[in-house]
Amino acid sequence: MNIGSHQLRNNVFVAPMAGVTDRPFRQLCKRLGAGYAVSEMAASDPRLLASVKTARRIDHAGEMEPKAVQIAGADPAMMADAARFNVERGAQVIDINMGCPVKKVCNRLAGSALMADEPLAIAIVEAVVGAVAVPVTVKMRIGPTRERRNAVRLARLFEAAGAAMITVHGRSRACGYSGRAEYDTVAEVKQALRIPVVANGDIDSPRKAREVLELTGADAVMIGRAAQGRPWIFREIAHFLATGRELAAPSPREVRQLLSEHLLDHYAFHGEFAGVRSARKHVGWYLAGTPAWEAARQDFNRIETPQGQLDAIERLFERLSAQAGTQPAAESPANETNFEQRRAA
């Protein structure tokens, strides 16, 4: 599928997640099969554009194209300026955040709060589309509440305003991340539009991805929380959608290698002090559910240096190997118990 003139290699996308989808994570997901990824949201407030956090969020150096930046805000003029600012710095797609349900975003009438103010939401899309020559996309929810589902109406208006793609998370703003996503509204949006529509919410396996595509008729799926600590989910889904066959889950040896590569890139990008601290959540996601991690988590979170974290991870995987009675460094991956099975054991 395409976004504007950008041809994507598949229809399995990485969702923008604040504090998660930095450049190292996006690059890893793309390398492991994702066809497209959007940056974590960048504020449109001009006072924040020069901040270190914003600079990191819009850093796409060396990233696989197309380079997409999500912007958040509630003022059409500021959003237009933010779009221009990011395009001048290499963004090839601008995504408008109308999906975030977090209070600190919605309290500023941004994110999914915009869906309750339809004239303002439309004005923002019109302003951003008019400000830049690159494709503009919108990520939204089904509506402010389940009882007030206005995604279909807004999506039609966004398409008329020039949006190139719409992503719909199958929950309302009021739902937050609780309960189960519903896909009927996503299907209605798809039926109403000519531009591509992406389904998002609770897609956590290859079979679920295929089911959601069949239920909604959507052009693509977007994966968020299920990719945390499991970036190989993109190749699993892409392979299953293309062939109908499931890939084997990664071996502990491959997971150890991917995690180490991810962390080295993470430290280089964020710097030692910030990188060590923000790496802790990623390590916890990769190793969640393993007995070795549960026993070592508190001690690991006290480590203050990159090398200390990397050494501790090596010891953790040695324990995982010993618990399974294997020697990963000397084995063929085909003979290893896969990591997902070991994590669930």
Question: Which residues are identified as catalytic?
Answer: 100
Residue 277's φ and ψ, nearest 5 degrees, are -70, -45
Asked whether 155 and 168 are in contact (CB, 8 A), the reply is: yes
Q: Pseudo-torsion of CA 80, 101, 156, 77, nearest 10°? A: -10
The residue type of 78 is M
CB atoms under 10 Å from CB of 40, counted, come to 23
Asked whether 328 and 251 are in contact (CB, 8 A), the reply is: yes
Q: Pseudo-torsion of CA 250, 254, 260, 262, nearest 10°? A: -50
Q: Report DSSP letters for 232-290, one per residue.
A: THHHHHHHHHHHS-PPPPPPHHHHHHHHHHHHHHHHHHH-HHHHHHHHHHHHHHHHTT-
- Per-residue burial over 90-126, b if 16 or more Cβ lie within 10 Å, else e, is ebbbbbbbbbbbeeebbeeebbbbbbbeeeebbbbbb
- Who's near 179: CB < 8 A, 6+ residues apart? 171
CA distance linking residue 249 with residue 337, whole number of Å: 9
C-alpha neighbours within 13 Å on the C-beta side of residue 31: 12
